[in-house]
Structure 1
Amino acid sequence: MENQPAINQSGDNRLVVPYDKDRKNITFYDTFVDINGDVIKYDDIAVIQSAAMNNSFMYYIVFGNSFTYNFDFTTYDGVKHKFKRYGLSVYGIGIYKRIKKEFETVSPPFYGIVVRKVGERLIDRLANGATANICGLEITKDKITYVKNKKKTYVIDRSNFDRAVTNNSYAASFAEIYIRDEKKPVFRVSLNEPNARLIVPIVNTFFEFRVNEAAANT
C-alpha cells in the first residue's frame, strides 16, 4: 500500500504539498500559489474551475479504473493555467490508486486556500458595490437576479431567501439556492462549472439569516 504524500507546513506561511511521487511540489503562500513553477496570484484569478472523475470500465474481458482531476485558473489578462492529473489501472496494475490518493491530499488546500482567497476578495468587492455574474446569477450585496430557463425571473433578497447549500450526491455535487415556500431549489448548478464553488459562501455571506441583525431591525 502506497503512503500518502507528506505535507510540509513551513514556518514562513508556506504550505508545501508534494505530488507525482514527491518529484514535484505545489506551494501555497498567503498571496499566491506556485504549481511546480507556475506562479498564480490569488488577486489575478478571474475564473476557477475544478473537477474530479472516478471511473470503472469493462471492455470485453478487460477491466480497469481511471481517476482524473483538474484545477484550472483563468487570470484577468486571459491567461489560462491548467493543472490536470490522470491515473489508469487495468486489473489493478497502474497508477489509479496513487492519483486518487494524490487528489485527496492536493484538493483540500486548493479549496481551503485558493478558492477561499478568491471568494473573500469577491465578497469585499460586492460589499463595496460591485456586481458579480456567476453561472447565470447576477449577484449584488442586496439581491440576486436569476432568469430560469429563459422564462421566469427570480429576484432573491433577504425577504425571500431561505438557504444556499452544497448538495453532494454519489455522481456529482451541486450548488443550490432555495427561497421560502419553495420545496425545490430555484437555482442548481454543478460545482464543476466555472466559479460555481464561489456561489454558496458568497450568497450566504450576504443573505443568510442572522438573529442579531433581525433583532436590530425590529
Structure 2
Amino acid sequence: MSDRSSGRVADWFSKRRRERLERLIREHAGLVTETVSSLLELLDAWREGDLDSVVKAFNRASAAEREADELRRRIVSTLMGGVLEPEERSSLLRTVREADWIADWAHEACRIAAVLMRHEVPDSVKAHCRAMAEVALQAASRVRSALEAVFESPRYVVEVSDEVERLEEEVDRLYEEARRDFITASSELPPGVAIMVAFLLDAVENVADRCEDTCDRLREVAVRTS
C-alpha cells in the first residue's frame, strides 16, 4: 500500500472514531438529562403520594444512570484511541466525568426521596425540592444542548454555559429558601427523617452545581477546539 493510500485509510479511521465519539457524547448527554427528568417525575409522584409511580420513576432513573455510566466508559475508551489532541482529550474527559456526576446526584436524590416516601414529610419541603429539581432539569437540558454542539459551535457552547450559570444561581436561591423553611419544619420531624431531608435538599442542589461545573469544563473544550 502506498503512503498516500495509507494516509487515506488513517484519515478514514480517524473520521469514523470522531463520529463515534460525537454519537456517544450525544447519547450520554441524553441519558444524563433523562435521569434528572426522572427525578422530577419521582418528586411529583411523592407529592401526590403515588408509591407505584415513585417506584417506576426510581427504576427509570436507575436505568438511565447505569447506562450513562457505561457510556462514559465507552467514551473514555474511544478517546484513548487518539481521536483528539492530548489537551483536547484531557479537557473532554473531565467534561464527560462532570456530566456523569449530574446523573449520579440525580440518582442519589431519587434514592433519598424514595426512602422518605414512607415517612411523613411536610408538603412545604416537598414543594421546595420540586421547585429546585425543575430548575435543575432546565440546567441539565441546556448542558445537553451544549454537549451536542461542542464540536460544531464553540460560541454557542459559551452562550449556553452562561445560561446554565444563571439557572444554577436560581437553584441556589431556592435552596436558601428551602433551608430557611426547613429550620422550622425540622423541629416536627424525627431526627433521622430530618437528616434525610437535609441530604435530599443537598443532593438536588448538587445536580445544579454539577451542571455548572460541566459547563465550566465545556468552556475549556470550546476554547481549545475553536
TM-score by length of 1: 0.28
Greater helix percent: which structure? 2
What TM-score, normalized to structure 2? 0.27
Higher RCO, 1 vs 2 (CA within 8 Å, ≥6 residues apart): 2
